[in-house]
A = this chain, B = another copy of it.
Amino acid sequence: MAKRIRLAKRVVAESDRLAARLAETFQQAGVFVANLMSSPGSGKTSLLEETARRLAPQLRMAVIEGDLATDRDAQRIRKAGIPAYQINTGGGCHLSARQILDALDRFDLAALDVLFIENVGNLICPAEFDLGERRRIVLASTPEGDDKPIKYPVAFNKADCIVLNKIDLLAATNFSRDAFLGFVRGLNPAAPLIELSCRTGEGLDAWLDYVRAERRAAASGAPRTPK
């Protein structure tokens, strides 16, 4: 058991070292890098599609997609008009700093304003791994139920921004907005919480404003402030 713990500590230290290197690279390039995480099917790819369609004329964006299998998400992003690079993790339940570092060979960071990393659909493992991102965005969606924050506390506690998607389905579910807000604020008092629907477009403006503001901060060389 002691051997297992020593080995695990070494793996974590290596991951943190690579994440710090990534953070430095991103800061020097002045690129806003966001790491998106959520359950499968909360709408990460849909949010990035809408962001690409609405901001691509103004901002130079790209996406790194993480999935166990298939390149469906990268295809969807490319159809929405911006470059995407697909990482398939096989069985891996999260993206690693090493995978992001390797993927950067595919992008000219200096030619980008915003780089989105869409993590593997999983509310648990991705929350444990820093990818050097400026902001960590956690998505939830109304059909998943209002109690997800307290059931997956690490993800919501470490989030820099929380997006509640599928508000168009509120009336068709037994999701309580008040309960959700209470759970979120108990774990994370200050992170922006943006409620939207990728399907209807409601609330998307607040999200786009957030992306623009973070992009300006990154471009000005402001350092990230990881939790």
Contact = CB atoms under 8 A, between A and B. Distances in A.
A40 B144 contact: yes
A39 interface: yes
Nearest to A120: B124
A147 to B, nearest CB: 6
Contacts of A68: 124, 151-154
Interface in A128-171: 128, 141, 143-145, 147-148, 150-154, 166, 168-169
Contacts of A174: 199
Contacts of A3: 7
B91 A123 contact: no
Interface residues of A, number: 39
A3 B93 CA distance: 22
How many monomers of this chain does the complex have? 2
A174 to B, nearest CB: 8
A76 to B, nearest CB: 10
A73 to B, nearest CB: 8
Nearest to A143: B143
A148 B72 contact: no
A70 interface: yes
Contact of A150 (B7, B69, B168): B69
Given A122-B122, A128-B91, A41 B7 contact: no
B40 A154 contact: no
A4 interface: yes
Instruction: Tell me which of A41, A120, A141 has the highest count of chain B C-beta atoms within 10 A of its own C-beta.
Output: A41
Contact of A145 (B41, B128, B153): B41
Interface in A14-43: 39-41
A91 B120 CA distance: 17
